[in-house]
Amino acid sequence: MTTLVYGLAVAGRSTAQFLASRGEPLVLADDRVSPAHAEFAASLGAELLEGPEAAMSCARRMGEFARIAPSPGVPESHPVIVSALRAKSEIVSEIELAYRHEQASGQPRPVVAVTGTDGKTTTTLMAAAMLSASGRKAAAVGNTETPWVEVLDEAHDCFALECSSFRLQWTRDLRAQAATWLNFAPDHLDWHRDLESYRAAKERVWAAARAGDVAVAPVRDASIVASARGTAARTVTFGLESGDYRVEAGALVGPRGRIVDIGQLSRALPHDLTNALAASALVLESGLATVEGVANALARYRHAPHRIELVATVDGVSYYDDSKATSPHASQAALGSFERIVLIAGGKNKGLDLSSMASQPRRMRAVVAIGHSAALVAAAFAGVCAVEHADSMESAVRAARRLAQPGDAVLLSPGCTSYDWYSNYGERGDDFARCVRDLTKENGK
């Protein structure tokens, strides 16, 4: 059974190593030519196809492959995917391969799964922390920094699985004891062929659900709730004001009562609370965690970098790094967290309408537009507030400092990816933080 692994970034390499360790013959391929690819292929004893002709070479040889395992970065429209679909070849994602391996082991370990447009990583990490605080050896895997296939041979007894649409698109059997679809908004239209394809991929988180499984859905999104109720799973809802898991009398509560007081949380922005409620529902309704464990985990939880992270306060203005916000929907959550904002936004757009970022005009002091999509950002905020352009992060931060007034928040929440100026959102956030720290040094002179 020869598998074609297409795309040799983190997930692709992990997939190839996983399959090679089990003696499966491989062909590796990537659109880019790199000495690192050749070295990696040689280490596995695998054939390598790379460069602009790789996709066409694979298409001509499609009949040789029992299945295709594309990296998450390989979009639906990629020639190798089109060829595989035309040839009716099986396409499997990294998480599908991991799930099948678990099932074949004879002792599959329980899984809670998370998908959604925004909040996936935070909710997954929260769920893993809750499981660990309840005495389990849990791993946060999938779209996190750790592909699931990397840890299958480790002594974990359960998994919290982050499911991006890229990974869900190519699943068939994947099933979790409890799974949540947090929210839905246009995103990744540079990867999916259209919005319906993106939505259908998200919905696959429940596709293999059985009676006794749990589907956790946001009570305010009727379409997601309807999707959950259309599965074999039992539906449980969450929401700020209502739902089975909700905020009540200053605490997070569930069907069995109080979970934790909001005052014990390190941060309690609206989306922090809904993420915590969804994670609580996953681990409690699946029976994998205790209320005490959930409460202890939430009280100790500290948010990952680049998610509305306070960098510094300079001259009465607070500077926040929300570089992880790579869609308008994600930026809206951050914008709703502050009363008066100077926003730094822009980057490489994913084919999305940026106008929704301007849906909270009373909060906007000004906008600094950056990157490839600066003109789109400026158009979105035309007539809403003052807009300036900046050609570097340093000039953007300096412009924001000039525009802001004491009590304001300067917020880097780009609504776009970082791939015009940076390699990833972390690099972008780090550069923003460096520029802000330069301001604090100047004040210290």
**Three-state SS sequence of 2-54:** CEEEECCCHHHHHHHHHHHHCCCCEEEEECCCCHHHHHHHHHHCCEEEECCCH
Instruction: Give the largest Cα separation in the chain, rounded.
Output: 68
| Helix or strand run (H / E) with residue 234 | strand 234-238
Amino acid, single-letter form, for residue 165 = S
Write down the pLDDT at residue 444. 66
Instruction: Note whether 238 and 285 are within 8 A (CB).
Output: no
Q: How far apart are CA 13 and CA 17, in angstroms?
A: 6
Of 377, 360, 356, residue with least CA distance to 368 = 377
Q: Domain spans of the chain? A: 3-91, 95-300, 309-443
Write down the pLDDT at residue 442. 84
Instruction: Note whether 368 and 392 are within 8 A (CB).
Output: no
Write down the pLDDT at residue 145. 86
Q: What is the pTM of this model?
A: 0.90
Domain formed by 309-443, architecture:
Alpha-Beta Complex (3.90)
Which fold, 95-300? Answer: UDP-N-acetylmuramoyl-L-alanine:D-glutamate ligase (3.40.1190)
Mean pLDDT by 10 residues, the chain (445 residues): 94 97 96 96 97 96 96 95 96 98 96 96 97 98 94 97 97 98 92 95 98 98 98 98 97 98 95 97 98 98 93 97 95 93 97 93 98 97 97 98 98 97 97 96 73
Residue 28 pairs with which residues in a beta bridge?
Answer: 5, 48
Where are the alpha helices (H) located in 354-392, listed in sequence order? 374-380
* Residue 248 main-chain phi, psi, to 5 deg: -150, 130
Measuring CA to CA, how many Å separate 154 from each of 136, 217, 357?
A: 14, 31, 43
Write down the pLDDT at residue 441. 87
Q: How far apart are CA 33 and CA 223, in angstroms?
A: 44
Q: How far apart are CA 316 and CA 92, in angstroms?
A: 52
Return left, alpha or beta for 125; rule: phi > 0 is left, psi -120 to 50 is alpha, else beta. alpha
Q: How far apart are CA 285 and CA 427, in angstroms?
A: 38
CA quadruple 230, 231, 233, 236: dihedral sign: negative
Which fold, 3-91? Answer: Rossmann fold (3.40.50)
Which residue's entry shows tokens 């599908």? 96
Which residue's entry shows tokens 């500290």? 302
Write down the pLDDT at residue 241. 96
Write down the pLDDT at residue 237. 98
